[in-house]
A and B are shown apart, each in its own frame.
Chain A
Amino acid sequence: MRLPSLASRLLLASTLLLPLFLGLTGYALTQGFEDSLEAAEAESLQSQVYLLLGAAELEDTQLTLPDAFAEPRFSQLNSGLLALVSNQKNERIWLSESGRLYADELDLRPSSEEEALDSTLTRGRTQFTRSTLAGKPFFIFTHDVSWDVDNGQEQLFRFSIYHEQSIFLAERRAYRAQLWRWLGAAGVLLVLMQWLILRWGLRPLRFLAADLMDIESGDSEQLKGDYPEEVQQVTDNLNAVLLREQQQRERYRNSLNDLAHSLKTPLAVLRSSLGSTTQAQDSLLESQVIRMDEIIGRQLQRAITRNLAPQDKVHNVEEIAQRLGNALEKVYRDKNIEFNVDISPDCSFNGDARDLMEVLGNILENAFKYCRQTVQLRASNEALSMVMRVGDDGPGIPAALQQDILKRGARADTAQTGQGIGLSMAVEIISGYGGSLELETSELGGAEFVISLPS
């Protein structure tokens, strides 16, 4: 069985163990109580024997007892307390008034002797045991007494007290009921307390989870919470790992940038030195230089998008779009382009802002370059992704070329001077995020790029 949480595991374990523990406690308490009840019973019955002994008189060899006693229950029929005196031959020689109804059964006892009671009389011996009379449970206390007869001989008698167990049983029942009620309540209380303690004790872990969630959503870069010692060790280590990872990411990005910078400048030199050689060499050199440049650009972009896990969440999609729009309006000032932005405020992008800028920049640049007068950007959140539509009123893209553009980012119009591999970079980044880029026809008449990115 797989339990979802630590709390439920601990709670289940204690819920299973608690009844066992409470059961044993209850059993021990009941036993102890019963033992002390029985000891008290035995003591009380012994004092009854002493009462009888005090009242008994031996005349010749005959033992006589009075009819009335200080203990009224001996005289009451069915009082539940009866006294019996028997002789060495186990013959009944006296029975209290209260035991009259049991007389026959008592007389039969020697034959149906219970093993618990030793029927041989031994001077001074007391026995305490249980038995039944007429189907009712009784305690029996016996005391064997020897009486000195005149001629120096002694005569043995057994004084037996029978006491019905009904009071004892009722008391025990009440005790047990009370005990189990208390133990049950204690059990419920313990489980509840345990649940509260668990919640309290595991609270730092819940905070940790929330803290980690913040990092994942990009709201924070480190675990900030103040944690108990045990957890703090984990969070300190996690923070160290995060920091190292961030630094490594930064170093990685920097070294990639350096690589790009250091490779691109010599390429620029190579390219601008063209013209000093023959035409054929020029075009060969140039085509190779362009190829190298594109390879570097593409590989760099791929490395950046593949290896850098998106940690930031970009909420200011509109701001990025506006900055790009302003920049492009400046560059294409001569065309007097009308740039319309409609971005719903809930738009967000789950990734690096720089990547979003790269994607949007390249696609917007394309639209600004090819449009006649108007470029429009609309963005809204749909299901789990942000969908951005960049449309223009330019000539549009012939169907035959559309697939090529989406695949390699090749420029459809090679007549217009331009540079770089903007669209293919955009495609690369978008696919790195598991998004998609599609081409449609804009309501403005030109091309419309539909970008879907995870939000």
Chain B
Amino acid sequence: MRLLIVEDEPHLREQLTTRLQEQGYAVDAAADGRDGLFYGEEYNYDLAIIDIGLPHISGIDVIRQLREKGKSYPILILTARGAWQDKVEGLEAGADDYLVKPFHNEELSARINALLRRASGHSTPQLHFGPITLDTSAKTVSRQGTPLELTSFEYKTLEYLVMKTGATISKSELTEHLYDQDFDRDSNVIEVFIGRLRKKLDPDNSLKPISTIRGQGYLFNLKQDAH
């Protein structure tokens, strides 16, 4: 999952970036509204965290312009003052949730998870696909109740495919959304991850959770269990 952070306070921006990278997100950070708008328009993020009080272009204008440009990824606004006027204006401009400074890291993670989940059309953090269960909050995967040992990259690859269930995801999209820009974009790495994931999720090759669409990419083709 690739996130955009637009925050003018350098310490907070760095801390957020580090924290979110530690949690396995690919993160781009912008220090003002102009840069934020540029990044936000240029790349397709999975989520953006935008501070309301920004230099050059206000956070609310950034959100409004991104939405006008057709960007539909979830946006979380950060507000220092916590006034409802700001929150309502931000949400009206197109944001999906707000967080008042200062906030718990856990609170931020929970909001990000919830927004990503919601964007993928899932309403609970636990997603069940037959024998396979993905917990987007704990970032764990289990098969028939037994936890699977996945590396962070394997998990991220699976989560991304699950969040985009039904869509074919190209290797380049996967690289773009999973890794920071300085990552060596060797598509063989993706193939290796997919191969390992298939083995771990489906050792007896009966479920076939991930299909390869020749020349296009990968598709997660399990249906989520009805509750």
Chain A residues close to B by CB (< 8 Å): 257, 260-261, 264-275, 289, 293, 297, 323-324, 326-327, 330-331, 333-334, 354, 357-358, 360-362, 417, 419-420
CB nearest neighbor in A for B98: A331
Please name all residues of chain B whose beta carbon is closer than 8 Å to the beta carbon of A324 when the two chains form the complex: 84, 88
With known contacts A261-B81, A331-B97, A334-B123, A268–B88 Cβ distance under 8 A:
no
Given contacts A326-B92, A334-B114, A420-B100, contact A272 B16 (CB under 8 A): yes
- Name the contact of A361 in the complex, choosing from B19, B53, B88 (C-beta under 8 A): B88
Decide: A265 and B88 in contact? CB cutoff 8 A. Answer: no
Distance between A424 CB and nearest chain B CB, rounded to angstroms: 13
**A265 B9 Cβ-Cβ under 8 A:** yes
B106 at the interface (CB under 8 A from A): yes
Q: A264-B81, A327-B91 are in contact. List 9 more A-B contacts (CB 8 A).
A: A261-B53, A268-B101, A268-B102, A272-B19, A297-B82, A327-B87, A354-B85, A357-B85, A419-B99
Binary per-residue interface labels of chain B (114-134) against chain A in the complex, 1 for a CB within 8 Å, 0 otherwise: 100010000100000000000
Q: Which residues of B contact A327 (CB under 8 A)?
A: 87-88, 91-92
Contacts of A268 in B (CB 8 A): 9, 12, 80, 101-103
> Which residue of A265, A273, A326 is within 8 Å of B101 (Cβ)?
A265
Q: Restricting to B44-88, which residues have a CB under 8 Å from any CB of A? A: 53, 80-85, 87-88
Q: Counting CB contacts under 8 A, is B110 at the interface?
A: yes
Judged by a CB distance under 8 angstroms, whether B107 is at the interface is yes
Q: How near does chain B come to A420, taking the closest CB pair, in angstroms?
A: 5
A289, B102: Cβ atoms under 8 Å?
yes
A41 nearest CB across to chain B (Å)? 95
Question: A221 vs B17: C-alpha distance in the bound complex, in angstroms?
Answer: 46
User: Chain B contacts of A354 at CB under 8 A?
Assistant: 83-85
Q: How far is the CB of A284 from chain B (nearest CB, A)?
A: 16
Residues of chain A within 8 A (CB-CB) of B83 are 354, 357-358
Expressed in whole angstroms, the minimum distance between the Cβ of B51 and any Cβ of chain A is: 9
Nearest CB on A from B89, distance (A): 9
Give which listed residue, B88, B101, B118, contacts A267 with CB less than 8 A: B101
- CA A130 – CA B219 in complex, angstroms? 140
Task: With A261-B80, A330-B96, A358-B83 as known contacts, state yes or no: A419 contacts B91, CB within 8 Å.
Answer: no
- Are B103 and A419 in touch, CB under 8 angstroms? yes
Q: How far is the CA of A427 from the CA of B101 in the complex (A)?
A: 21
B105 within 8 A of A: yes
How far is A265 from B54 in the complex, measured between Cα atoms in Å? 13
- Asked if B15 CB lies within 8 Å of chain A CBs, one says yes
Smallest beta-carbon distance A357→chain B, Å: 5
Contact of B102 among A257, A271, A361, A417 (CB under 8 A): A271
User: Considering the chains assembled together, what is the distance between the CA atoms of A362 and B110 in angstroms?
Assistant: 21
Residue pairs across A and B with Cβ atoms less than 8 A apart, 19 shown, are A257-B81, A261-B81, A264-B81, A264-B101, A268-B101, A271-B104, A272-B15, A324-B84, A326-B91, A327-B87, A330-B97, A334-B114, A334-B118, A354-B84, A357-B84, A361-B84, A417-B104, A417-B110, A420-B82
Measured in the bound complex, the distance between the Cα atoms of B110 and A379 in whole Å is 34
> Cα distance A362–B88 when bound, in Å?
12
B87 touches A272 (CB 8 A): no
Which chain B residue lies CB-closest to A336? B123
Closest to A275 in B: B105
- Nearest 6 interchain pairs by C-beta: A361-B84, A268-B102, A327-B91, A268-B101, A271-B102, A269-B11
Among the listed B85, B92, B107, which residue makes an inter-chain contact with A417, where contact means beta carbons less than 8 Å apart? B107
Asked if B87 contacts A269 (CB within 8 A), the reply is: no
Tell me how far the C-beta of B210 lies from the nearest C-beta in chain A, rounded to whole angstroms. 27
CB-defined contacts of A266 to chain B, threshold 8 Å: 11
Nearest CB of chain A from residue B74's CB, rounded to whole Å:
10
Q: Give Cα distance in the complex from A45 to B44, angstroms.
A: 128
| Nearest CB on A from B43, distance (A) | 24
A55→B135 CA distance, assembly (Å): 152
Within the complex, which residue of A257, A273, A330, A420 is in contact with B15, where a contact is CB–CB below 8 Å?
A273
* Residues A271 and B9 in contact, CB atoms below 8 Å apart: no
Given A272-B15, A272-B16, is A264 in contact with B102 using a C-beta cutoff of 8 Å? yes
Q: Return the chain A residue nearest B95 by Cβ.
A: A330
Q: How far is the CB of B206 from chain A (nearest CB, A)?
A: 33
Docked-complex contact B96 and A293, CB < 8 angstroms: no
In angstroms, Cα B105 to Cα A289, docked, is: 14
A151 to chain B, nearest CB (A): 131
Q: From B80, B91, B123, give the contact of A330 (CB < 8 A).
A: B91
Alpha-carbon distance A273/B11, docked complex (angstroms): 9
Using Cβ atoms and an 8 Å threshold, which residues of chain B touch A330? 91, 96-97
In Å, the complex CA distance between A261 and B78 comes to: 11
In the complex, A397 Cα to B118 Cα: how many Å?
29
Complex formed: what's the CA distance from A267 to B82 in Å?
Answer: 14
- How close is A352's CB to chain B, nearest CB, in angstroms? 10
For B10, give the chain A residue with the smallest CB separation.
Answer: A269
